[in-house]
């Protein structure tokens, strides 16, 4: 009996010691996490030594490039921190004056850089002259050296990606180009060259559409082309992209689109998408030795409809 109680208290003592040790280990882990968090915070504050970056997230440009997803904002913020800037986003709805919002943001907190999309990226000379100590990163602007000391143009040469997409489309079947005014003829021509480079591929059929086609008009055009045997569509209008994929889902066929990866709607209707790596391009523009014009990376992203296409095009 005495031995039994001795073993009992010894077991309780061992369990208690182990519990205390476990508590100590848990506290040590928590302490290490806190220290790590403080080190990361200190690193970010030390890294953000170049100043504040104002990101003018003005619609319709911002919605077009982000597809309503917060992912792009997080990527741009991380890129800015890596370059030593503390990002500050200024969201501007379509009905508000983006110019006034930009001036208000630039007049507060002495920012070191500003990121502008269209249309302000085409009219940055006034802002650059008024704020000579601010570096203006211009996306979707003229794409050439404007001679202004404190501007950096971010341009994307997408011709090679369009050519690659044309070859992929031709391998999948007969192709139609749904074109519109104001889009780069060089990119459309590159896509057509890609189609022509596939042996036996018929010449693409071309149809002109408005920038934002009406849903019923899209249905009529696509239905007629599908009846004519068209399998793949290059969609060039800037609006109604999601609606176009909805129509295509009902009519059948697949599409080559642009900037689809942010939201990825209708994956099975997308053969390929031409994607600009905006965060990487912005990061290059924020470098201390950035040239007046920076060419951002572009790639072709395959969609769900690309499964089973000719391996030779991969």
Name the residue ranges covered by the structural domains of the chain: 1-47, 51-156, 159-276+298-313
Angle CA 150–153–154, to nearest 5: 140
pLDDT of residue 237: 85
Question: How far apart, in whole angstroms, are the C-alpha atoms of residue 81 and residue 129?
Answer: 26
More confident residue, 147 or 28: 147
Largest CA distance in the chain: 98
The answer to whether residue 242 scores a pLDDT higher than 70 is: yes
Average pLDDT (246-269) is 86
Question: How far apart, in whole angstroms, are the C-alpha atoms of residue 178 and residue 211?
Answer: 11
pLDDT of residue 25: 52
CATH homologous superfamily for the domain 159-276+298-313: Response regulator (3.40.50.2300)
More confident residue, 50 or 290: 290
Confidence of residue 64 (pLDDT cuts 50, 70, 90): confident
Average pLDDT (277-299) is 95
pLDDT of residue 29: 44
**51-156 and 159-276+298-313 share one fold:** yes
More confident residue, 94 or 286: 286
The answer to whether residue 37 scores a pLDDT higher than 80 is: no
The answer to whether residue 39 scores a pLDDT higher than 60 is: no
Average pLDDT (14-42) is 45
pLDDT of residue 55: 96
pLDDT of residue 309: 56
The answer to whether residue 35 scores a pLDDT higher than 80 is: no
Specify the CATH number of the domain 51-156.
3.40.50.2300
Please provide residue 235's backbone torsions phi and psi, each rounded to the nearest 5 degrees.
-100, 115
Strand pairing category for 298-302 and 270-276: antiparallel
Average pLDDT (102-126) is 93
Average pLDDT (179-192) is 91
Confidence of residue 168 (pLDDT cuts 50, 70, 90): very high
Average model confidence (pLDDT) across the chain: 84
List, in order, residues 6 or more apart from 215 with CB less than 8 Å away. Answer: 240, 243, 247
């Amino acid at each position: 009996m005495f031995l039994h109680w001795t073993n009992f208290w010894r077991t309780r003592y061992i369990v208690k010691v182990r519990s205390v040790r476990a508590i100590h280990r848990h506290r040590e882990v928590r302490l290490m996490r806190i220290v790590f968090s403080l080190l990361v915070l200190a690193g970010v504050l030390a890294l953000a030594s170049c100043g504040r970056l104002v990101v003018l997230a003005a619609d319709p440009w911002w919605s077009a490039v982000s597809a309503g997803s917060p992912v792009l904002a997080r990527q741009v913020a991380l890129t800015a921190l890596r370059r030593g800037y503390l990002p500050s986003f200024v969201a501007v709805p379509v009905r508000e004056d983006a110019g006034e919002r930009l001036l208000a943001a630039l007049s507060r907190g002495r920012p070191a850089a500003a990121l502008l999309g269209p249309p302000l990226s085409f009219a940055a000379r006034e802002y650059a002259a008024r704020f000579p100590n601010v570096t203006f990163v211009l996306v979707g602007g003229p794409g050439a050296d404007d001679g202004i000391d404190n501007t950096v143009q971010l341009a994307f040469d997408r011709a090679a990606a369009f050519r690659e997409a044309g070859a992929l489309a031709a391998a999948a079947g007969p192709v139609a180009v749904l074109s519109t005014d104001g889009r780069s003829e060089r990119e459309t021509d590159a896509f057509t060259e890609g189609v022509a480079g596939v042996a036996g591929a018929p010449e693409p059929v071309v149809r002109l559409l408005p920038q934002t086609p009406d849903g019923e008009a899209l249905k009529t055009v696509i239905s007629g082309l599908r009846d004519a045997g068209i399998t793949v569509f290059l969609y060039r209008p800037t609006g109604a992209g999601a609606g176009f994929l909805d129509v295509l889902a009902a009519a059948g066929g697949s599409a080559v689109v642009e900037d689809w990866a942010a939201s990825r709607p209708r994956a099975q209707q997308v053969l390929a998408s031409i994607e600009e790596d905006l965060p990487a391009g912005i990061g290059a523009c924020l470098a201390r030795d950035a040239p007046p014009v920076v060419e951002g990376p572009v790639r072709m992203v395959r969609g769900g409809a690309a499964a089973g296409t000719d391996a030779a095009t991969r």
